[in-house]
Structure 1
Amino acid sequence: MDQQRAKSEVFETDVPARLDRLPWDRFHWLIIIALGVTWTLDGLEVTLVGSLAAAIHESPSLALSETQVGLSASAYLIGAVLGAVGFGWATDRWGRRKLFFITVGLYMLASIATGFSWDFWSFAFFRALTGAGIGGEYAAVNSAIQEMIPARRRGTVDLAVNGTFWAGAALGASSALVVLDPAIVDPEIGWRAAFVVGGVLALGIIFLRNWVPESPRWLMTHGQEEKAHRIVAEIEARVEARHGKLPPLPYGPVKFRRRGHTSLKEVLNIMLQQQRRRTVLGVTLMACQAFCYNAIFFTYALVLTKFYGIASQHVGWYLLPFALGNLAGPLLLGPLFDSVGRKVMITLTYAMSGILMAASAFAFQQGWLSAWEQTLAWTVIFFFASPAASAAYLTVGEAFPLEMRAIAIALFYAFGTAIGGVAGPALFGWLIEGGQRGDIFWGFLLAAVLMLVAAATEWRLGFAAERMPLEDVAAPLGLHRDDDAMVKR
């Protein structure tokens, strides 16, 4: 009886191979646009606060100090940490599709509410809620994208999608040029309107996501193989109608054993015991890039206004090329992560970022750079840092089994952001308020050293994942290996 029950719990599926063989199609573009827009929203939010920091500091209704501006950025990141963990846990239990509707809805409402803030505490609270929505998006959306994009392009697409953060950043910088121009709109109204408009844009995202199916891989690993096959069959029919006969399957079917939800205890056991090396790698990559990015980007507008005398309404002109350089990095270097390989490219991009950051920090301390030269230096630095940071998300998504992918992404994002992101903006806000270039130099140098530490860690602990099925990179927990040796539940 037990043997018969065990056999009934095992099923065979070719869903992974069928998803990986699909030629590039408009379906994949739908996934990228409807789900990948998360990073554009995050870029818009972060840049708005960075570009509007001086205006919010000068606002007669809020009048936040430099330290409070840094603390409000930290509040956003604290919200993102909590949202990532909570929504990441729910994503693995309830499915990708349900959660990416909930998270974008929370983002929309909280962003609009930010525009109606009346003091520091209300502003920080609404920023925290906005961050919670974005943090939840990272877990639900990253996992869904990785599970539905063919293996041969997973790295390229994942880096490009993460890089669209900077398309949002460019949009935010451009918007700031309008909303902070007194000749166009009162800056007190302008900075508030920017948050409201950002939230309203989320309505279009909700509409697009109605056309995105549940991840077949998630359904497969949760014992819903019939529904997974039906969704894949519908995708194949549309793709075949546009591209002709589909190519043969690149590999054979896999067998799964039906299992219950993955407990947090099991997740922690895998991370801390079975896959300890990958855990150390993921934490290091996430924390180091989070500190570097959040510390500098959240306070860049304050550096421009305080040390270079740039008027707040002109900050967007300096953030725009910086954002475009960050966008170009993943788009131009991304394909190399699938051809040259993950380990070489991740090491190279982190190392280049750290070396160039250290050189730029010294030049800043010596006062050698003008505002435009500082912008050019950081544009070059983050051309490499942007694909490095995106590769951190790619790494933690690929490193662990399908059944725990969302919560793994969430935990690494949360832990890395808590270590590197929350402290960074507050630290740099305090350093800038002191007004000494020498103090800020040490902050920049710390960011540079952390990026070099991440490069060394990747070279030591990195693993191959390019062009490989997700199931080969990290075996699913429900993978069945032996018909004659069933494992009882």
Structure 2
Amino acid sequence: MSGAHDAKVIETSVPARLDRLRWGRFHTLIVLALGITWVLDGLEVTLAGAVAGALKESPVLKLTNAEVGLASSFYLAGAVLGALLFGWLTDRLGRKKLFFITLAVYLVATAATAFSWNFVSFALFRFLTGAGIGGEYTAIASTIQEFIPARYRGHTDLVINGSFWIGAAGGAAGSIVLLDPAVLPPDYGWRAAFFIGSVLGLGILIMRRWIPESPRWLMTHGRPDEAHEILEQIEDHHRARGHHVPDDDPALFKLNTRSHTPLAEVWHTLFDLHRQRTLVGLALMAAQAFFYNAIFFTYALVLTDFYGIAASKVGWYLLPFAAGNFLGPLLLGRLFDTVGRRPMIAITYALSGLLLALTGALFAAGVLSATMQTVCWTVIFFFASAAASSAYLTVSETFPLEIRALAIAFFYAVGTGVGGIGAPWLFGALIDTGSRMSLFAGYLLGAGLMLAASVIAARYGVAAEGKSLEDVAKPLSAAH
């Protein structure tokens, strides 16, 4: 099958030339300008949790615990649909066009959230905000994967995913200030909080103007001259910074150019050609989505309802939690490139599940204080953050170039749909029962999913460390 119009065979050295580069200022700027997406998502998710108490106390919204959880589910549903739509467009129209469009959707929607007047409007704007973020994930993840040299890819990807928690810390800190009645009236604080993302997003739009289209995407779409021109500019930039770049061309490989990849071929690739990898991707994404969304979206509700923490103080408990989540990928990330993908993914998933089961038992027994609960969650998510980041790494590097963005969208959508959309609502309802044992049962479900994913990763995971993307997953358009 081919999606090409006037297909032709080209020889290219683009992948090998990208992978032989040493880390340079160009790569750092790529990570900063594009990786900010995870910071924005962390900001949005944390704000939704940190302002939960304020949303319930708002004289205008007056949300219940179930409605707070349901609004979070709307955010995730938007992320699912946005990922699918924008992921499909990213593979067809290019990476660069889409990471401008998705950011614009996010900016408008998160600003609109601040003007919500009832539950329906709030849920709608959260849905649209999620759509922008979901689209960002697919466009950005595919772009970063295609620019970062193979030997840096694992650690870089984990740290970028972990930067979600920089946004989480920012959201927590912002909520501490903005939810303080001495700073703003109660019904204005949570509204001001949702403007933080819009301000950051405007700056990001400017930063992204200089980012080129992915040379890997260009070469498969019959535009090798543009791909090589961009690559030559990157190499010249490296030389100007004192990095050695060999003058000789590395080995070439042949590609059949195409305008797009038909959905029938996408289906064949996911469920026939690479169905084992699809099983791994689905298991990892669904387990981590349920694990994270169940706990994090209801983090504030547990503190306020079971430990009596004031809504305005929740941010203080989120800060150490966010720190542990960022330090996990930062400190463990290199092991995914040295020890290897398969063992590290299995270990981090298993530890996350076991620690959550233990902490859940202590919570059910009523022996934890709010501080000790936070300490336990911080330790759990030191490992769980690395595990979740490795799930995104896995689905973005183990499928062919031509369907990379759509594959990321598919796994993000299905994983989030299966494991994430219902989790905030379910745990919100469990909290409303006031029963610690009911909530413990939910924690055991999350732990069981992580342990199952650990076994699947250990058995069927792909050893992608240090390998070119084209070696990990042969392009569908590779000429024989």
Do they fold alike, i.e. is TM over 0.5? Answer: yes
TM-score, normalised to structure 2, is 0.98
Task: Check the 8 A contact 1:112/1:200 in 2, yes or no.
Answer: no
Q: Is the 2:10–2:255 Cα contact (8 Å) retained in structure 1?
A: yes
* Distance 1:237-1:62 versus aligned 2 partners, 3 A rule: same
Match of 1:309 in 2: 308
Following TM superposition, by how much is the alpha carbon of 1:405 offset from its aligned partner in structure 2, in angstroms? 0.1
SS at match of 1:17: helix
8 Å CA contact 1:21–1:248 kept in 2: the answer is: no
Match in the other structure for 2:317: 318
Measure the CA separation in 2 of the matches of 1:245 and 1:309: 59
User: Which residue of 1 is the match for residue 352 of structure 2?
Assistant: 353
The offset of 1:247, in angstroms, is 4.1
Change (3 A) 1:308 1:407: same
The residue number in structure 2 matching 1:338 is 337
Preserved contact between residue 155 and residue 336 of structure 2 (Cα < 8 Å) = yes
Query: Partners in 2 of 1:190 and 1:321 — Cα distance?
Result: 22
Q: Which residue of 2 aligns with 1:213?
A: 212
Are 2:409 and 1:406 aligned? Answer: no
Q: Secondary structure at the match of 2:255?
A: strand
Q: What is the letter of the counterpart of residue 441 of structure 1?
A: F
Whole-Å separation in 2 of the counterparts to 1:249 and 1:421 = 49
CA shift digits 1:145-183 (9 cap, x unpaired)? 000000000001000001000000000001110011111
Q: Which residue of structure 2 lines up, in the alignment, with residue 204 of structure 1? A: 203
The answer on whether the counterparts of 2:340 and 2:463 sit within 8 Å (CA) in structure 1 is yes
Q: Which residue of 2 aligns with 1:433?
A: 432
Runs of 4+ in structure 1 deviating by more than 2 angstroms, as ranges, are 247-251
Aligned to 1:375: 374
Gap change, CA 1:168 and 1:405, over 3 Å in 2: same
Alpha-carbon shift at residue 187 of structure 1 (Å): 2.2
1:248-267 equivalence runs, <5 A: 252-267=251-266
Aligned counterparts of 1:353 and 1:359: Cα–Cα separation in 2: 10
Match of 1:35 in 2: 34
Does structure 2 conserve the Cα–Cα contact (< 8 Å) formed by 1:20 and 1:250? no
Matches of 1:250 and 1:64 in 2, distance apart? Answer: 62
CA distance in structure 1 between the aligned counterparts of 2:462 and 2:250, rounded to whole angstroms:
21
Local SS of the residue matching 1:201: helix
Question: Partner amino acid for 2:319?
Answer: L
What's the secondary structure of 2:354's corresponding residue?
A: helix
Once the two structures are superposed, the pairs formed by residues 66-105 of structure 1 within 5 Å of their partners are 66-105=65-104
Matched residue SS, 2:194: helix
Corresponding residue of 2:326 = 327
Q: How far apart are the structure 2 equivalents of 1:344 and 1:247?
A: 34
Asked if the contact 1:465–1:473 (Cα under 8 Å) also holds between the matched residues in 2, the reply is yes
Distance of 2:127 and 2:321 partners within structure 1: 26
Residues 107-118 of structure 1: matches in 2 within 5 Å? 107-118=106-117
Offset at residue 426 of structure 1 (A): 0.5
1:28 aligned partner, one-letter code: H
Shift, 1:259, TM fit: 2.4
3-state SS of 1:293 partner: helix
The whole-number CA distance in structure 1 between the counterparts of 2:7 and 2:438 is 65
Counterpart of 1:156? Answer: 155
- Which runs of structure 2 are paired with 1:228-307 in the superposition (5 Å)? 228-247=227-246, 252-307=251-306
Deviation track 1:374-408 (CA, whole Å, cap 9, x = no partner) reads: 00000000000001001101101111100000000
Task: Give distance in 1, aligned partners of 2:388 and 2:247.
Answer: 35
SS in 1 for 2:211: coil
Q: CA deviation at 1:221?
A: 1.2
Please give the secondary structure, in 2, of the residue aligned with 1:38. Answer: helix
Q: Quote the Cα distance in structure 1 between the aligned partners of 2:59 and 2:130.
A: 25
Match of 1:484 in 2: none
Note the alpha carbon deviations across 1:458-485, whole angstroms, 9 max, x for none.
001101100100000000011112xxxx
Query: What's the CA shift for 1:200?
Result: 2.3
Structure 1 residues 74 and 7: alpha-carbon distance in aligned structure 2, compared to 1, 3 A threshold: closer
> What's the C-alpha RMSD, in Å, of the aligned pairs?
1.3
Secondary structure, aligned partner of 1:375:
helix
Identity %: 60
Letter in 1 for 2:187: E
Structure 1 residue 258 displacement after superposition: 1.6
Secondary structure at the aligned position of 1:11 is classed as: strand
Q: Secondary structure, in 3 states, of the residue corresponding to 1:455?
A: helix
CA contact (8 A) 2:219 2:257 kept: no
Could you list the runs of 5+ residues in structure 2 that have no partner in the other structure?
Answer: none
The 1:8–1:116 alpha-carbon spacing in structure 2 relative to 1, beyond 3 Å, is closer
Counterparts in 2 of 1:457 and 1:318: CA distance versus 1, 3 Å: same
How far has the Cα of 1:322 moved from its partner? 0.2
Q: Quick one: distance in 2 between partners of 1:338 and 1:243?
A: 26
Q: Conserved in 2, the CA contact under 8 Å of 1:18 and 1:249? A: no
Tell me which moved more, 42-51 or 183-192.
183-192
Is 1:21–1:250's contact at 8 Å kept on the other side of the alignment? no
The structural deviation recorded for 1:251 is 5.2
Shift of 1:220: 1.0
- Cα contact 1:287–1:421 (8 A) shared by 2: yes
Q: Which residue pairs with 1:474 in the alignment?
A: 473
C-alpha contact 2:395 2:408 (8 A) present in aligned 1: yes
For residues 209-232 of structure 1, what are the alpha-carbon distances to aligned partners after superposition, in whole Å with 9 as ceiling and x for unaligned? 001100110101111111000000
Partner of 1:140: 139
Contact in 2 for aligned 1:72/1:124 (Cα 8 Å): yes
Partner of 1:3: none
Shift of 1:250: 9.6
User: Distance in 1 between the 2:243 and 2:384 partners?
Assistant: 40
Contact 1:80 1:131 in 2 (8 A): yes
Asked if structure 1 preserves the Cα contact closer than 8 Å seen for 2:325 and 2:385, the reply is yes
Q: Does the 8 Å contact 1:21/1:249 carry over to 2? A: no
- Taking structure 1 as the reference length, the TM-score comes to 0.96
Deviates more, 1:283-292 or 1:175-184: 175-184
**Aligned pair in 2 of structure 1 residues 437, 244: CA closer, same or farther (>3 Å)?**
closer
Please give the alpha-carbon distance, in whole angstroms, between the structure 2 residues aligned to 1:244 and 1:469.
21
Count of residue pairs the alignment pairs up: 476
Aligned twin of 2:421: 422
How far residue 8 of structure 1 moved from its aligned partner, in angstroms, is: 8.2
What secondary structure is seen at the aligned counterpart in 1 of 2:10? strand
Equivalent position SS for 2:11:
strand
The question of 1:458 aligning with 2:457 is answered: yes
For residue 301 of structure 2, what is the amino acid of its counterpart? L
